[in-house]
A and B are shown apart, each in its own frame.
Chain A
Amino acid sequence: MLNVGKRNTRNLIWIISVVLVMSVVLSACGSQEAGQTSGSGRSNADDPLEVSIMTITPSAVPAADDNVIKRAIEEATNSKMSIQWVSNNIYSDKLNLTLASGDIPDLIMINDPFGSTFTKMVKQGAFWDISPYIQEYPNLSKGIPNIAWETTKSADGNNYGIPRPRPVTGDSFFIIRKDWLDKLNLRVPETTDELFEVMKAFVEQDPDGNGQPDTTALAAYVSPDDLGWGGNLGPVLGAIENSFIGSNSSWKWDETEGKLIYRELLPEVRESLQYLTKAYSSGMMPEDLLSLKLTQARELFKRNQAGIIVDKTGTMRKIYADDLKKVDPSFKYTDFYPLTNLNGYNPKGSGYNGILAIPASVSEEKMKRILQLVDTWMNPEVFEIQQFGIEGTHYELVDGKKVASTEKLTADNASDFNHIVNVIDLPWDTTGETEEETQANELFKKVEAERNKTSVADLSAGLQSETGQKILPELNKKIQDLKAKIILGREPIEAWDTFVESLRNDPNVQAMSDEMTEAYKKRNGQ
């Protein structure tokens, strides 16, 4: 009797321990899901809105969950945010993986609303069409410029996300070292030919005055990450190609034929290729331009080794100038000189940088509350929290004006929150921390005013073609490879002619052109 009982308890212990091990392992897998569902559970309208967010962070160390600025925004908007900050460099990959997992945060930043994964999922109804609701939220409908709403419209004419507005001015364009120009007695270039002369001088005439032929002109690089950008050549070389075409669009309207022409078929692309080939062989850009990454190209400029970069006007101090001053103490902020136009062209921004989408798995009631959250956040008194921080900690009131400490704001990741909500129609304040910076800001303001006269918008922004979605990923890669080889002198320019001829005869390219033309006509009410 006793013996049997003992054996039974022993067996029981084994069974219990097995069950325990199993449950630990299984719960480890299940916990993530449990956390997800609790967020979308039943909620009272007065409770703080629990919302999960995924977006980019430009900072090496993202804002922690108990960040003071985040807490202040949460309090002001009656919300409880769990934010997943993802590094800029890997965002596209992370986004696609998140979309594939089906475990999508309540508010997710889609950096390219016309990317293939997102558009596919939109078609299947995976995201809320928010267009019918926008009018109910004054900040969303009026605070975000119309151009941003227009250019982020999906193929069916609906908006599947709140655009993150950005100014249409100040888009990436050439920035030149004015002190080098002055030293070599050169004028600010206004055409691609003049630019070529300047680049030549920057390489041959020792602009840094160290007696060594160690300078290059254009801090350029070509990266496979930039497929689809500036004729697939990326921001820098793409800017040159764009200046030849006079547009940063992949499509050009042909008045005589009444249809859109695919960019690569234009004769200007061939011209720009010849120009770039000549520039490369004359040492006007880094020899290793294909192996360089963005940071390494920037490094050239910061180390006083390149005279021209392509970037946004406002990036001056944050990214380049302070480092450059260490190498060349005579450099002034105003020597960071943005060009106003080249061949009478400069690019107009599309007015947005990504959109915030809400997955359809979120209930309608909650979706409305999320829209409300963004709307409230755009109120000046809430948005000012990320601009100026908290009184006493980040800013002091001096004569009724808020004087913020840039250092403390940076330490608390204040501007990171711009990657969730950003208000742009604030007047540009030119006062900087020093007299030199103020002067630079005034110069930039003047440049932007000049640029406004010649800036050209992408006429195909927001237009899509189904065939294009299918063929472009491979085609873009082929184009980049071929252009790179021609610029490096590995292939003759005739290889481009052969390629263009094959594009012209490609039924897929023709289908894509027809679809794009149709979409363009439809939007322009023709």
Chain B
Amino acid sequence: MSVTEQHLSTHKGKQTSSKRNKRTKWLSALRRDRSLYLLALPGILFFLVFKYIPMWGIVIAFQDYSPFRGIQGSEWVGLQHFTTLFANPDFALLFRNTLAISLLNLILFFPFPILISLGLNELRNVTYKRLIQTVIYMPHFLSWVIIAGLTLLLFAKGTGLVNELFVLWGWPRVDILTNPDSFWIMVTLQAMWKEAGWGTIVFLAAMASVDTQLYEAARMDGAGRLRQIWHITLPAIRSVIIVLLILRLGDIMEVGFEQIFLMYNGAVSEVAEVFDTYVYRTGIEQGDFSYSTAVGLFKSVVGLVLVVVANRLVKRMGQEGVY
């Protein structure tokens, strides 16, 4: 905090010097670090060309876009697509499903890698630790198509392995794939199985950087393992948790299109239809490009607002935010 203040004050001091002086300073700084700037150039160009320029495509959300007429020739309709979306009786349903899956993710999935990391961090046997880490990373590298296939093989009501076992044991078959009651929790558990191991990387790295002297001191004071976790490890990784949480909030309206789309079927549609699948159906399948862009834009705006608000809150609480 104090370092940035110092930096700011020196900056303010420079503002008093004349404009020309400032410009030459800027130029000379540019010249001095030209190799660095040149190194950054491809990256900047990448973002300009592939991220910022395509963003202008958003304007079709306010048009009745026709590919034949192009963006210039298409008719402007203002906020019509947004009003259609909000007036759609399915809007509440989409909102509910998206939020429900997202919140389940936030409550169950988000803390899960932290818990695993805490556990792994306590393991003293390095070989064993590495082995567990490698095994729980693996699912991250499988595509959703494969995971959906595995889920079907395991849990299908008629032929799934789990149900066959249940029958062997004399239990009734369970219906997981086509049951609206279990859909949300199923996709959350699926995501946890796939990504939790991968999510531990950041936390483990943060824990590795904790000063071991702190632990020694705590032990001297008679702190047990749990006390050490609570008073040393967790506070040490607090900023990492907060940054990741804020970033996660930005994605609250995205629940992973591929996963939902692959697990989707007629019997669970009222709990499985989320904004992402809706955009796909209206945009790609029905060719309603403007409307689906409007839906996508709405989604992004909600995400942006959440990130900004969360970041403010965190900063007000005296923590470091994302920016």
**Interface, chain A (partner B; CB < 8 A):** 14, 17-18, 21-22, 25-26, 29, 92-93, 96-97, 99-102, 115-118, 120-121, 124-126, 222, 224, 286-288, 290-291, 360, 473-474, 477, 480-481, 483-485, 488, 490
Contacts and interface: CB of A to CB of B under 8 A. Distances in A.
The residue in A116, A118, A224 that gathers the most chain B C-beta atoms within 10 A of its C-beta is A224
Interface in B218-275: 264-267, 269-270
A136 B66 CA distance: 32
Contacts of A291: 152, 156, 177-178, 265
Contacts of A222: 265-266
B158 interface: yes
A124 B68 contact: yes
B285 interface: yes
A290 to B, nearest CB: 4
Given A116-B288, A477-B281, 7 more contacts: A17-B38, A22-B45, A25-B46, A116-B286, A120-B66, A124-B69, A290-B178
> How many residues of B sit at the interface, in one of the four size bands?
35 or more
B284 A99 contact: no
B34 A481 contact: no
B53 to A, nearest CB: 9
Contacts of A121: 66-68
B49 A25 contact: yes
Contacts of B66: 120-121, 124, 126
Contacts of A290: 177-178, 265-267
Given A121-B66, A288-B157, A291-B265, A96 B152 contact: no
Given A18-B38, A115-B287, A121-B67, A490 B267 contact: yes
B170 interface: no
Nearest to B179: A490
The residue in A29, A92, A287, A474 that gathers the most chain B C-beta atoms within 10 A of its C-beta is A287
B214 interface: no
10 contacts: A17-B38, A25-B45, A96-B287, A121-B67, A121-B68, A125-B68, A288-B158, A473-B281, A477-B281, A488-B178
Contacts of B182: none
Given A121-B68, A224-B266, A288 B156 contact: yes
A288 B41 contact: no
B80 interface: no
Nearest to A288: B156
Interface string B37-56: 01001100110010000000
A485 B267 contact: yes
Nearest to A285: B158
Nearest to B73: A124
A300 to B, nearest CB: 10
A287 B66 CA distance: 43
Nearest to A121: B68
Contacts of A92: 285
Interface in B65-97: 66-70, 90
Contact of B266 (A26, A125, A474, A485): A485
Nearest to A225: B285
A222 B268 CA distance: 13
B159 interface: yes
Contacts of A484: 265-267
A22 B44 CA distance: 11
Contacts of A14: 34, 38
A117 B69 CA distance: 14
Given A102-B70, A291-B177, A473 B267 contact: no
B285 A93 contact: yes
